[in-house]
């Protein structure tokens, strides 16, 4: 191949460089090339087996420690606790395998998009072959309805239009041509003489030479990028891993210390101290945390599904809550993916189309309806988006469109082509008149008109009229509106020669129609909410710079106080920046136009290197690599390709940007609730550790292993899970994103865990000391048994009271409301009953080495729980004063 790109080469150069001809390749040449280039199919990296995926779930450090703890607990006779820990671990692994989506699923979806067969020239004859048998140099014929089977340089194109949105982001089908293009740096969307694998031919026909097959195609390069993409760890996964390592090291160190101190004092047996140390370690490790996180995330997915956000990977729920940047595709996400008539220029006046009373007998209306190839089907309008928009405009006005089409029968036509940019139809009216209607580019139509229709009167067109029309056309074009012009003339018969030179002359100018793929009405508000939440929306599109800028301006993505030009960059401009320069400048750009797939990955990576959590939306094949690279990939459920959905962590059932913002709110809520559960669990565990440690240090009779494990089992599970159901706090979307560097202990949680855990432990020790100092029984053995029972009850009950404190990190519980979370109310009640049974029910208290408490002793225990709430409320009030 020469240094020229395929689209720059002439037909002769193309045939010479690929050693082919119009009659195609010989069978011998095909066989030789297939051996050299391989089959025309996409390859995927080796797929993991289901067993391998399951085993991979157990590589987390905290999970390994839990498994060890379960084994040790089982060996020491604590079978119930061992089984509970193992059940939690296995449940977490099953959820992980179920939610996991690997890159090979995206590659499989790409394969399914490929054309199954192709019409190809072989030995001078057109034959049908499987598309995977194509080789470079094959001459392929394409027509409307075909899926492009490989990357092809066109050598003929007859009114050919191709839908390339999945690859290029173009919102409307692209008109193709066959001539060579001069520019050496054209974006994929501007290579009008090229068609690419998986694109759809929507109109016309053409032929071309295969220049790329398999992984050498544009789609193949995307598949390669997906293969190379590594799954990024979410902030949640990173936080849990760090937390697990930190907690495990600390707790094991304390357990060893308690064992050593107990043995040095010599007041406990080796077996009892070993069991105590193990029980302490098991009780202190929040083994319920993975299950609580999984359940909280799962509940979040259910709530999101009801709001049209379908989660494919559980950690994605929380990742949304930490999002700093939402990089969104334009077409179909920010816009409606439906061309709509916005303004009409008629009778010398520019009018808002929505506020215009239509008259279907008006010449402009007739031209829009009759010069139109739109078809009606059971599922709606079928045809070119521009033409369907014209019909839909009148259908929305309840106009009798079908009647107008049937009454004004089309007798002939001159199809649209890309060179003259016009289309003509010849329609016979009900009163046997023949009218030619013409639509097309304003500059081309104006060259062919000599009259103008103003308020029902036809008069010669003058320079003033032309200047006015061109001025309005420029005004509309600068707003990124797509402008069509219309003209007509009355004839006696259909012209004998149906060509533009003779038949598209002496026309009467009627007016202009301005269309655009409009923004979704709710998106502007969603963008404003994102800004309010400290999230930067970024538009990334394959559309032209002007179109992207206009939509971004209307949505509020562009900052009106800054230079608009400095906030918009094209793919070509991005190519001129080094990665280092781009990383420094990435924060200034909010709109990217005319981009290629590799640009999208660069944009995501640049933001990530700035320490930002990035959500990336997309619906096309070209979006898949960026969706994989982003912290959270968001696919489109309606317009999205299977490739983009497979590469995504979340799918929008309604393809709506505002749903992403809703999901961000839910993600923030999920993180906040996990944080509340973590604060509750760790403060409780610190209270338990402190109690045992001080008891051992002071030589007091310590809580038995079965008592510690029961408290841990009863108080840790259900209340912590119920905290995951707390409603979102009112100001949650007014806060700035947490950022990648934040963790579960951010926002004052670490300090809360420490002081609240110490408070729980000290109050438990205080009740024990009080019971020893003021015993109910004179017997020292019974007095110590009562003291241990009160310490047991206090340690358990104080944690249940503390669950109410944990409903909010900083706000007063009296403001949030004690009993609004019904699940928490029932969880605390159930836990209290399970705790009380071990004390008040004969037989159970024997098993747990506990005594029956009298009313005064119960009041002391309950008073400790109430005091816990009051002290935490006072500390929160002080914290809020310092924050203000």
- Per-residue model confidence (pLDDT) at position 483: 94
pLDDT band for position 258 (cuts 50, 70, 90): confident
Distances (CA, A) of 115 to 118, 131, 135, 161, 603: 7, 6, 14, 17, 31
The answer to whether the beta carbons of residues 863 and 802 sit under 8 Å apart is: no
Identify the weakest region by mean pLDDT among 435-439, 652-656, 766-770, 787-791. 652-656
In this structure, are strands 632-636 and 614-618 parallel, antiparallel, or unpaired?
parallel
H helices of 512-556, in order, are: 523-532, 545-555
The answer to whether the beta carbons of residues 358 and 399 sit under 8 Å apart is: yes
DSSP 623: G
Percent of the chain at pLDDT > 90 equals: 34
Distances (CA, A) of 554 to 174, 335, 513: 25, 11, 20
DSSP 711: H
* Closest listed residue to residue 416, CA positions, set 438, 389, 434, 401: 438
Joined together, the tokens standing for residue 200 give: 């759809």
Q: Is the pLDDT reported for residue 459 higher than 90? A: yes
- The residue written with tokens 């490739």 in the block is 643
The CATH number of 340-516, from 2.40.50.140, 3.40.50.2300, 3.40.1110.10, 1.10.760.10, is 3.40.1110.10
Every domain of the chain and the residues it spans: 6-44+108-219, 50-101, 244-304+666-728+745-883, 315-336+521-655, 340-516
Q: Does domain 6-44+108-219 have CATH number 2.30.30.90?
A: no
In CATH terms, the fold of domain 315-336+521-655 is: Rossmann fold (3.40.50)
The number of helix segments (H) and strand segments (E) in the chain equals 34, 26
Joined together, the tokens standing for residue 714 give: 């009863």
- The residue written with tokens 């800004």 in the block is 531
Joined together, the tokens standing for residue 689 give: 């550790």
- Per-residue model confidence (pLDDT) at position 435: 96
pLDDT band for position 97 (cuts 50, 70, 90): low
- Per-residue model confidence (pLDDT) at position 488: 97
The residue with greater pLDDT, 674 or 231, is 674
For 176-201, how does the pLDDT look when each residue is reduced to its tens digit (9 = 90+)?
A: 988 899 887 787 888 899 999 888 88
Joined together, the tokens standing for residue 844 give: 């159970």
Q: How far is residue 151's CA from residue 208's CA, in Å, rounded to a whole number?
A: 9
Q: Is the pLDDT reported for residue 372 higher than 90? A: yes
Catalytic residue check, 329:
yes
Write the CATH number of the domain with boundaries 244-304+666-728+745-883: 1.20.1110.10
Q: Is the pLDDT reported for residue 80 higher than 80? A: no
Q: Is the pLDDT reported for residue 159 higher than 70? A: yes
For 501-540, how does the pLDDT look when each residue is reduced to its tens digit (9 = 90+)?
A: 889 999 999 999 999 988 888 899 999 999 999 999 999 9
Using the CB atoms, write b or e for 67-86: b if 16+ within 10 Å: eebbeebbebebeebbebbb
> Computed from CA positions of residues 824, 830, 834, 835, in that sequence, does the dihedral angle turn out positive or negative?
positive
For 203-229, how does the pLDDT look when each residue is reduced to its tens digit (9 = 90+)?
A: 788 999 999 998 888 878 777 766 665
Average pLDDT, the chain: 83
For 32-59, how does the pLDDT look when each residue is reduced to its tens digit (9 = 90+)?
A: 998 998 888 776 555 566 676 677 667 6
First to last CA, the chain: 69
Q: How far is residue 462's CA from residue 441's CA, in Å, rounded to a whole number?
A: 19
pLDDT band for position 468 (cuts 50, 70, 90): very high
CATH fold match for the domains 6-44+108-219 and 315-336+521-655: no
* Closest listed residue to residue 641, CA positions, set 663, 623, 616: 623
H helices of 25-78, in order, are: 27-37, 50-56, 61-75
Q: What share of the chain is helix, strand, coil (3-state, %, to 5)?
A: 55, 15, 30
Three-state DSSP at 700 gives coil
The answer to whether the beta carbons of residues 310 and 651 sit under 8 Å apart is: yes
Element (H, E) at 160: strand 151-163
- Ranges of beta strands (E only) in 626-758 are 632-636, 650-652
Please enumerate in sequence order all residues whose Cβ is within 8 A of that of 583, keeping only pairs 6 or more positions apart, or say none: 606, 609, 610
Q: Is the pLDDT reported for residue 613 higher than 50? A: yes
* Closest listed residue to residue 102, CA positions, set 550, 649, 797, 751: 649
The residue-averaged pLDDT of 103-116 equals: 44
- Per-residue model confidence (pLDDT) at position 93: 66
Active-site annotation holder among 329, 517, 619, 623: 329
Give this prediction's pTM. Answer: 0.67
Q: How far is residue 147's CA from residue 132's CA, in Å, rounded to a whole number?
A: 13
Q: How far is residue 600's CA from residue 857's CA, in Å, rounded to a whole number?
A: 67
In this structure, are strands 457-460 and 449-454 parallel, antiparallel, or unpaired?
antiparallel
CB burial of residue 474 (10 Å; 0-12, 13-18, 19+): exposed
Q: How far is residue 279's CA from residue 67's CA, in Å, rounded to a whole number?
A: 14
Using the CB atoms, write b or e for 765-799: b if 16+ within 10 Å: bebbebbbeeebeeeeeebbbbbbbbbbbbbbbbb
């Amino acid at each position: 191949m020469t240094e020229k790109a395929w689209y720059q080469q002439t037909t002769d150069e193309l045939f010479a460089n690929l050693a082919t001809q119009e009659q195609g390749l010989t069978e011998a040449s095909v066989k030789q090339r297939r051996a050299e280039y391989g089959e025309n199919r996409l390859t995927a990296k080796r797929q993991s087996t289901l067993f391998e995926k399951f085993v991979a779930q157990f590589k987390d450090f905290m999970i390994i420690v839990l498994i060890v703890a379960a084994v040790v607990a089982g060996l020491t006779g604590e079978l119930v606790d061992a089984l509970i820990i193992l059940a939690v671990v296995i449940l977490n692994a099953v959820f992980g395998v179920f939610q996991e989506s690997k890159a090979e699923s995206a590659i499989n979806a790409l394969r399914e998009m490929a054309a199954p067969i192709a019409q190809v020239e072989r030995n001078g004859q057109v034959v049908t072959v499987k598309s995977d048998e194509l080789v470079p140099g094959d001459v392929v014929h394409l027509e409307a309805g075909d899926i492009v089977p490989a990357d092809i340089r066109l050598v003929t194109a007859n009114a050919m239009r191709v839908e390339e949105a999945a690859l290029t982001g173009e919102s409307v089908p692209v008109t193709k041509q066959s001539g060579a293009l001069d520019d050496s740096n054209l974006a994929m969307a501007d290579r009008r003489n090229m068609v690419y694998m998986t694109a759809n031919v929507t109109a016309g026909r053409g032929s071309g030479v295969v220049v790329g097959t398999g992984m050498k195609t544009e789609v193949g390069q995307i598949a390669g990028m997906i293969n190379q993409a590594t799954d990024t760890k979410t902030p949640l996964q990173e936080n849990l891993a760090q937390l697990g390592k930190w907690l495990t090291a600390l707790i094991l160190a304390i357990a060893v210390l308690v064992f050593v101190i107990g043995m040095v004092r010599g007041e406990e047996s080796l077996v009892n101290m070993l069991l105590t140390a193990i029980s302490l370690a098991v009780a202190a490790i929040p083994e319920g945390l993975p299950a609580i996180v999984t359940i909280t995330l799962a509940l979040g997915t259910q709530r999101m599904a009801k709001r049209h956000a379908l989660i494919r990977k559980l950690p994605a729920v929380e990742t949304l809550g930490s999002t700093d940047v939402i990089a969104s595709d334009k077409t179909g996400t920010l816009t409606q993916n439906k061309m709509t008539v916005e303004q009409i220029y008629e009778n010398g006046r520019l009018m808002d189309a929505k506020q215009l009373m239509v008259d279907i007998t008006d010449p402009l209306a007739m031209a829009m309806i009759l010069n139109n190839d739109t078809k009606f089907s059971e599922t709606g309008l079928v045809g070119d988006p521009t033409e369907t928009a014209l019909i839909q405009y009148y259908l929305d006005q309840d106009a009798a469109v079908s009647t107008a089409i049937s009454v004004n029968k089309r007798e002939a036509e001159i199809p649209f082509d890309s060179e003259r940019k016009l289309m003509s139809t010849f329609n016979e009216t009900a009163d046997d008149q023949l009218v030619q209607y013409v639509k097309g580019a304003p500059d081309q139509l104006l060259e062919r008109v000599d009259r103008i229709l103003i308020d029902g009167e036809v008069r010669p067109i003058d320079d003033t009229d032309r200047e006015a029309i061109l001025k309005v056309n420029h005004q509309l074009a600068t707003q990124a509106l797509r402008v069509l012009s219309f003209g007509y003339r009355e004839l006696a018969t259909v012209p004998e020669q149906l060509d533009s030179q003779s038949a598209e002359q002496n026309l009467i100018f009627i007016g202009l129609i301005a269309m655009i793929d409009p923004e979704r009405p709710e998106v502007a508000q969603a963008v404003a909410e994102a800004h309010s939440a400290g999230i930067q929306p970024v538009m990334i599109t394959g559309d032209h710079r002007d179109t992207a800028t206009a939509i971004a301006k209307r949505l509020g993505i562009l900052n009106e106080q800054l230079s608009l030009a400095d906030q918009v960059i094209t793919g070509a401009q991005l190519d001129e920046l080094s990665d280092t320069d781009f990383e420094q400048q990435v924060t200034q750009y909010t709109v990217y136009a005319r981009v290629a797939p590799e640009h999208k990955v660069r944009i995501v990576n640049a933001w990530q290197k700035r320490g930002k959590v990035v959500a990336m939306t997309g619906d096309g094949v070209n979006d898949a690599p960026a969706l994989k690279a982003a912290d959270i990939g968001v696919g489109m459920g309606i317009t999205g390709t299977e490739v983009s959905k497979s590469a995504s962590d979340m799918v929008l059932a309604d393809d709506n940007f505002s749903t992403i913002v809703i999901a961000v709110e839910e993600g923030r809520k999920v993180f906040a609730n996990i944080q509340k559960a973590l604060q509750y669990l760790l403060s409780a565990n610190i209270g338990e550790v402190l109690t045992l440690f001080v008891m051992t240090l002071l030589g007091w009779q310590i809580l038995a292993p079965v008592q510690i494990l029961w408290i841990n089992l009863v108080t840790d599970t259900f209340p912590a899970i119920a905290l995951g159901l707390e409603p979102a706090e009112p100001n949650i979307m007014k806060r700035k994103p947490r950022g990648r560097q934040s963790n579960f202990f951010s926002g004052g949680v670490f300090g809360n865990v420490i002081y609240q855990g110490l408070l729980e432990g000290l109050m438990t020790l205080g009740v024990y000391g009080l019971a020893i100092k003021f015993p109910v029984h004179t017997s020292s053995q019974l007095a110590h048994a009562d003291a241990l029972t009160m310490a047991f009850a206090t340690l358990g009950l104080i944690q249940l009271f503390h669950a109410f404190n944990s409903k909010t990190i900083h706000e007063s519980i009296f403001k949030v409301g004690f009993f609004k979370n019904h699940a928490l109310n029932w969880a605390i009640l159930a836990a209290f009953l399970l705790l009380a049974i071990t004390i008040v029910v004969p037989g159970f208290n024997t098993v747990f080495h506990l005594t029956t408490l009298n009313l005064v002793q119960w009041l002391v225990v309950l008073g400790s729980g109430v005091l816990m709430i009051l002290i935490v409320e006072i500390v929160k009030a002080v914290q809020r004063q310092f924050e203000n």
